[in-house]
A and B are shown apart, each in its own frame.
Chain A
Amino acid sequence: MSDIAGSRAAVPLLDLEGVSKGFPGVLALDDVRLDLRHGEVLALVGENGAGKSTLMKLLAGIYTPDSGSFRLNGQELTIEGPRHAQELGISIIHQEFNLMPDLTVAQNIFIGREQRSAGVFLDDRALNRRARALFDRLGLALDPAERVEHLTVARQQMVEIAKALSFDAKVLIMDEPTAALNDAEVDVLFDLIQRFRGPETGVIYISHRMEELARISDRVTVLRDGRYIDTKVTAQTDPKEIIALMVGRQLAGEQRPAPLNAAGEPVLAVRGLSTKRLLRDVSFEVHAGEILGFAGLMGAGRTEVARAIVGADRMDAGEVRVHGTAVSIANPAEAARQGIGYLSEDRKQLGVLLERSVRENVVLSSLRDYVSGLGFVDDARIEATGREYVAKLRIKTPSTAQLVKNLSGGNQQKVVIAKWLAKDCDVLIFDEPTRGIDVGAKEEIYVLLRQLADQGKAIIMISSELPEVLRLSNRIAVMAEGRLTAVLDNADATQENLMEYATRFSSEGTIAR
């Protein structure tokens, strides 16, 4: 992609060889190598558990490797700790934000490197001046004295990047930096990356989004199960090949659901839904056996629609009908009684009780049905229900007593689904059902969603991944800025026209997702 890549190839900027790292019971990295050339953006991809995070933490000095060598500009070295990594010019932007919300922007950036006067006293004015100089250099509009908790997520991301670059970084490592950004913000980020890369610097860019790799990276290195698989020049490969390398097998070709013969009363009908904050006159209906996909950019209002329907947010105007009867739903418990289950995108926070067992999670919403006449909880029946769903949904767990935190993301998602099935819901609203789930397990979730629809459930699926939406939905609703801009039959939908409806406010037309 970039002509800088490939030049000065003799001595790589950063060069890892034979790196292994084990934890009790797992070999997280097994003889991994990687080379980052001067001036390039190297994408690092792999499924969850492929070893990307471990590799990052080795480079950050958080872990020490069991074996293997690191070379920076050809010089062999050992990274002794986070501070040492920074001093060497290796800066990392972690996936979870590593900011102190109660401190100011400048205080965050220079934490551990405070400006002092008279030995002990802090000089925040000098700190702010340094920060401002840094922002001018990077072209960022940030206020050094603003407290970080008052910033938007995107701006917090910018603070992270500024912090990383303030170390005079040579190697910048970014772990899924766009996960929380909208497209305009992604543009700003990519612009920053382009500014950063130069003859002395390089970027390692970890991402799941194939489209981004094509936009920003020069080469792509693939890890799988803790092993190095291959490195490809981005311009000479395509997402299909990369995904195949990631999962170790060719994914099945694109299938599209057949059109649905939707006769009769819709299970769920929404009319004129509006909220004070965002939603404007949203109307749609879902039939039994149907998957209605919701496409749109982040912040378009898809999650807000779901939250308003289940009563998690206040609906300021509009009507919800279940099986033709108008209902008034004040809270999610009420929604569940009406047979509407909402599976949040934030599974760990809002979907499961990580510290409790699989069976407890499965019956959580329907626990009342398991109470005997004397008021005791009937553990035998709970166990039976737990077993039933573990078998039905093929949840991979040694027993129903296993704590949910020990399951993989895909199996946690299945537990959430089981919970709503146990509650006997007719309408299931999935919000980003495959977020944080590896490619292989995604497939299983897709199959499961289809099965549920075939069994007569009405399903709403909110997803930011267009291929996923196209793959599963009978019809697709597209939102932009709180409005429904289109409802298409699957046969009429393409990634391109969905994106058009999702960005009907945007004139640049440079959005890639």
Chain B
Amino acid sequence: MSPTTTQPKSDETPSTTAFAAIDAGKPRFARLRGSLQQLLAFASLIVIVLVFSFLSPHFFTANNLVSILTAATVTGILALGTTFVIITGGIDLSIGTAMVLCGVMAGVFLTYLGWPLWAGVLATILFGGLIGLVNGVNISVFGIPPFIATLGMMLIAAGLSLVISGTKPIYFTETPDFQSIMNLSIIPGIRFPLGVAIFIVMIVVAAVLLSKTILGRYTFSIGSNEAATALSGVNVRRWKIIIYTLAGLFVGLAGVLSASRLSSAQPTGGMGLELEAIAAVVIGGTSLQGGKGSIIGTVIGALIMAVLTNGLRIISVPQEWQSVAVGIVILVAVYLDMLRRRRA
């Protein structure tokens, strides 16, 4: 019996040579897509700003923009460190309460122990690093999943804050200059606080670390394919400890700034702050699956959250609705991001 369906046609053009087959399907512009996403986030930030400016004359004023930046500073710095952790495919739930604990420790160093300002601040930042180090060791050496390891740390830090402070706020009576770390106005004429300048410096530091150093390269590499990174001879365990420690250092700094802002260390609270920071990271296009993300995205994410909260308050939306709005923004941002990935 002969073939029953189509016979081979000889007039068909002979297609695909060896390299053509291999060359197929590689969009040259694919590389641009990543930056396009950030453009999109940035564009939405602009749109939100424009809408609020239109709705209220009090929104787009120098003073209000500075207070938005001020509001974004603490969450933003937490989010910077968390960006590294999330790009590795991990998560850090302890940053909120750990930040509060760092504030309490600043009170201990400066008020109870009477250390000089510089030493107390440095010790506080290092204490944050220590918390991160413990997280890193728990995750990397003992193999506890990041979610659980940092959930445990979140509760430990919340409890320790209360224990150490005796549940009472600590005031920085010994070091009155402490509050100027966040609040000192550094530009004559407008109320531009030092804390915001520190935030901006940290953005640059984090961006350089992530994109220009070996630490950043391994951060992406681990998140992209941890096993392959290890097989390539990279000491993944050690780098993960370093990355969580780095996130802890950012937490320590955020602890200093938030205590400075209030001129006191408040031992309660902090819970929920980690979710705000994670939200900023996610809105900025960093994938919870790891491997993808950027500092500039995180900054835009933190700004979008701060602008929304501030703007909704200015146009007198009740506070209970503000959280609803932020929730919706997170869902929309992540959905758009998934759409983009599906197309890619």
Contact = CB atoms under 8 A, between A and B. Distances in A.
A298 B113 CA distance: 72
A60 B8 contact: no
Interface in B222-259: 223-225, 227-234
B221 interface: yes
Contacts of A158: 22
A145 B18 CA distance: 23
Contacts of B17: 184
Nearest to B20: A184
A102 B291 contact: yes
B3 A86 contact: no
Interface residues of A, number: 58
Given A82-B232, A185-B22, A488 B3 contact: yes
A150 B23 CA distance: 12
B15 interface: yes
B1 A488 contact: yes
Interface stretch (A22-30, A116-124, A365-373, A439-447): A116-124
Could you say which of B14, B15, B216, B228 has the most chain A C-beta atoms within 10 Å of its C-beta? B228
B21 A283 contact: no
A120 B214 contact: yes
Contacts of B2: 492
Contacts of A55: none
B84 interface: no
Could you say which of B18, B25, B230, B233 has the most chain A C-beta atoms within 10 Å of its C-beta? B233
A154 B224 contact: no
B27 interface: yes
A507 B225 contact: no
B61 interface: no
A260 interface: no
A344 B9 CA distance: 31
A121 B224 contact: no
Contacts of A145: 31
Nearest to A281: B6
Interface stretch (A93-101, A248-256, A462-470): A93-101
Interface in A133-192: 141, 145-147, 150-152, 154-155, 158, 182, 184-185, 187-188
Given A100-B221, A120-B214, A185-B18, A487 B233 contact: no
B207 to A, nearest CB: 13
A489 interface: yes
Contact of A505 (B14, B217, B228): B14
Contact of B214 (A86, A114, A485): A114
B234 A111 contact: yes
The 6 closest A-B pairs by CB, nearest first: A83-B233, A100-B224, A98-B228, A504-B8, A102-B291, A486-B3
18 contacts: A94-B231, A98-B232, A100-B221, A100-B228, A101-B224, A102-B292, A103-B217, A103-B221, A114-B214, A122-B217, A154-B21, A155-B26, A284-B5, A485-B8, A486-B4, A487-B3, A500-B8, A504-B12
Given A60-B231, A507-B14, 17 more contacts: A82-B232, A100-B220, A114-B217, A122-B216, A141-B19, A141-B23, A150-B26, A150-B30, A152-B22, A184-B16, A184-B21, A188-B18, A486-B4, A486-B5, A486-B7, A501-B3, A505-B12
Interface of B: 1-9, 12, 14-19, 21-27, 30-31, 212-214, 216-217, 220-221, 223-225, 227-234, 291-292
